[in-house]
Copies of this chain bind each other. A is one copy, B any other.
């Protein structure tokens, strides 16, 4: 029973970033997304991946590998927006 809750917890926190990535790809809007959050979060997930490789734990590797993909997509879109905003602010 509790093993199922643990498994569900891992699945839910991993796939949760998919709808956020899809929303950003569709709307191209990242205005209320925190750049700081995704810089820190992506770094953290990449640390989990390094740790997962070290302890050779496939659950850690799979969960964080999937999360890393979504997180990097969100971070990339946010970074593009931040760079575009700064360059347009310069030309004003």
Taking Cβ atoms with an 8 Å cutoff, the residues of A that contact B are 2, 5-6, 8-20, 22-24, 27, 29-34, 36-38, 40-41, 43-45, 47-48, 50-51, 54-55
Q: How many copies does the complex hold?
A: 2
Given contacts A29-B31, A33-B32, A34-B19, contact A44 B12 (CB under 8 A): yes
Sorted nearest first, the 3 A-B pairs with minimum C-beta distance are A12-B44, A9-B47, A13-B44
Whether the pair A51, B9 counts as a contact (CB closer than 8 A) is yes
Determine the residue in chain B with the shortest Cβ distance to A24: B32
Main secondary structure of the interface of A (DSSP, over half): helix
List B contacts of A29 (CB < 8 A). Answer: 31-32
Whether the pair A16, B44 counts as a contact (CB closer than 8 A) is yes
Given contacts A8-B47, A47-B8, A51-B6, contact A16 B41 (CB under 8 A): yes
